[in-house]
Amino acid sequence: MAQKPSTPKGTRDFSPQEMLRRKYIFNTIETVFRKYGFLPLETPAMENLSTLTGKYGEEGDRLIFKVLNSGDAWKSVSSEVKAMLVKGEEVHPGKLAAELSDKALRYDLTVPFARYVVQHQNELTFPFKRYQVQPVWRADRPQKGRYREFYQCDADVIGSKSLLNEIELVQLIDDIFTALDMKVTVKINDRKVLSAIAEISGQPEKVVDMVTAIDKLDKIGQEKVEEEMRAKGITDTAISTIAPLFRLSGTWPEQKNKLDDWLGNVPVAQEGLKSLSTIFDAVGNLKSATLEFDPTLARGLDYYTGAIFEVKANEGTMPGSICGGGRYDDLTGIFGLKDMSGVGISFGADRIYDVLLETEKFPAELGQSTRLLFANFGESEAMHCFKLLRQLRDAGIAAELYPDQVKMAKQFKYADDKGIPFVAIIGENELKQGIVTVKDMKNGEQKAVKAEELLSIIS
C-alpha cells in the first residue's frame, strides 16, 4: 500500500522559486560577511551530545534533537538503568536519553564553532573570524516563524576583546539589511548591566529569573513582570529596587544619565555602561537600522557575558527576532581553552525570508534563470539550435533547447510557466533562409533576424 508522503514536523521542502529567493538572502549575507573579513567554515550536522548539553540552559537542553545510537541502542544502556526499567522504576528522561544516544543534531552554530576553535587552536591565527551558513535543528513546537529545521547565518570573531568588533557587527547588520532593503531596529544591552541590577537588588543569585521576567516587559507589562518575579522568590524589596528599570525611556544619552545616577557606583555596571557608550558613539550614521538601548533585552542563551544584540523587523508581522547575538567571554573554557573571548551575530534566514515575502521586497527578476528557449522542430532543426545554444552559453546567456519534438503550444507553455522571456523558433523555413524567428513573450511580438543578431536582441 502506498504511504502518504510527508516531511517530518516543522521541516519543509523548498521549491525552485523559493530556493532562488533563499539563495538571494544567503548570497547577500555572505557577500557582506566577506567584505568584513570573515571566511567560511562548516561543521558536521551532528555533534557529540556532551558538546551541546549544558550550553543553552535548561530549556535549551530539552530542545536538542538526540540521535539514537546506531546498531542496537539498547546495548549502550547501563545495567543499572536496565534494572530500574525492568523493576518499573522511573528513570529521569535526560539520563535515559544520554544512555541511548551519544550524538545530537546541532542546536546553533556558535557552540560547534567554539568546539572547532579549541580543537584546532594551534592551526588558527587569532583573532579568528569565520562565517557559517548551515541548518540547525530544535525540537520545538512549530509556529509562525518557528521551524524545527532552519538556517542560521553566523559571523563570529574570537580571540579579541576589542569593542571594535561589536561596533563593526552593528555596521555589518546595517549593511546586510540595507542590501535586503529592510528597515530594522537593533536592540542592544549588556549582560553586565543586568548583573549589576541583580546585585543592587540584593539577590544576585536570581539574575536569570529576573532577566527572563524583565525580558517580557513590553509583552505583559510591569505588573505581570513583578508578579512573575515574586513567584520566582524575588523579594518585594528587591523588586522595588529594580523599579527604576521600568522608567528608562528616552534617547541613549538620557537613558545613560539615568543609569549613571542609579547604578553608577556598581563597578560591574560601569563596565557595561562604558562599553555601551563606546558602541553608541562609534557606530555613526546607520542606513537602515535604528540602534536602541533596551534594558529589558536579556536573551536566553546562557553563554553571553557582555553586549547582547537582537534585531527586529520594522515592517511585517514577524513576531520574533530575525537576528541575534552577543559577546561570550568563556565559551571555549568548557572545552579547555581559557581566556578566549568572542563576539558574534546570527541571522535567521528563514524569518528574513518570511518578512521579505510578506512585505514584497524580493527583487522581481529573481524568477528568471533562462533567457531564451529554442523550440524543438525535429532532429535536424534541433542540431542547428545546438550550435547557437553553445554560442549563447559561451557569451554568458542562460539558454535551453526544448528536448522533445512536441506541439508548439506545449513548448510555449513551458516557456511561459518558467518565465522565459524569449523563445527562438527555427523550423524548416528559418533553416532554409538562415534566420531565427524570435518571440518576445511579454508583448507577443515576433521578428525574424539573422543568427548573429540574436544575442543583441535578447540581451
Partner RNA sequence: GUGGAUGUAGCUCAGUUGGUUAGAGCGCCGGAUUGUGAUUCCGGAGGUCGCCGGUUCAAGCCCGGUCUUCCACCCCA
Q: Which is nearer to RNA, 238 or 424 (CB)?
A: 424
Q: How far is the CB of 261 from RNA (least distance, A)?
A: 29
Which residue, 273 or 351, is less far from RNA as judged by CB? 351
CB-wise, 176 or 263, nearer to RNA? Answer: 176
In the bound state with RNA, the residue whose beta carbon lies nearer, of 104 and 311, is 311
Provide, rounded to whole angstroms, the least separation between the CB of residue 80 and RNA.
24
Least gap, CB of 350 to RNA (angstroms): 5
In the complex, minimum distance from the CB of residue 289 to RNA, in angstroms, rounded to a whole number:
14
Is beta strand 372-374 parallel, antiparallel or unpaired with respect to 289-293? unpaired
Residues that bind RNA (CB under 7 A): 1, 4, 6-11, 57, 59-60, 62-63, 108, 138, 140-148, 150, 152, 212, 215-216, 219-220, 298-301, 310-311, 319-324, 346, 348, 350-351, 407-410, 412-413, 415-417, 423, 425, 427-430, 437, 439, 441-442, 444, 446
Q: Which C-beta is closer to RNA: that of 11 or that of 76?
A: 11
* SS3 per residue for the chain: CCCCCCCCCCCCCCCHHHHHHHHHHHHHHHHHHHHCCCEECCCCCEEEHHHHCCCCHHHHHHCCCEECCCCCHHHHCCHHHHHHHHCCCCCCHHHHHHHHCCEEECCCCHHHHHHHHHHCCCCCCCCEEEEEEEEEECCCCCECCECCEEEEEEEEEECCCCCHHHHHHHHHHHHHHHHCCCCEEEEEEEHHHHHHHHHHCCCHHHHHHHHHHHCCHHHHHHHHHHHHHHHCCCCHHHHHHHHHHHHCCCCHHHHHHHHHHHHCCCHHHHHHHHHHHHHHHHHCCCCCEEEEECCCCCCCCCCCCCEEEEEEECCCCCCCCCEEEEEECCCCHHHCCCCCCEEEEEEEHHHHHHHHHHCCCCCHHHHCCCCEEECCCCHHHHHHHHHHHHHHHHCCCCEEECCCCCCHHHHHHHHHHHCCCEEEECCHHHHHHCEEEEEECCCCCEEEEEHHHHHHHHC
Q: How far is the CB of 448 from RNA (least distance, A)?
A: 9
Taking the least distance from each CB to RNA, the nearer of 195 and 212 is 212
Q: How far is the CB of 237 from RNA (least distance, A)?
A: 23
Cβ proximity to RNA: between 86 and 409 the closer is 409
Q: Which is nearer to RNA, 30 or 262 (CB)?
A: 30
Closest CB 123 distance from RNA, rounded Å: 28
- Minimum Å gap between C-beta 115 and RNA is 17
Q: How far is the CB of 188 from RNA (least distance, A)?
A: 14
Q: Compare residues 60 and 266 and give the one whose CB is closer to RNA.
A: 60
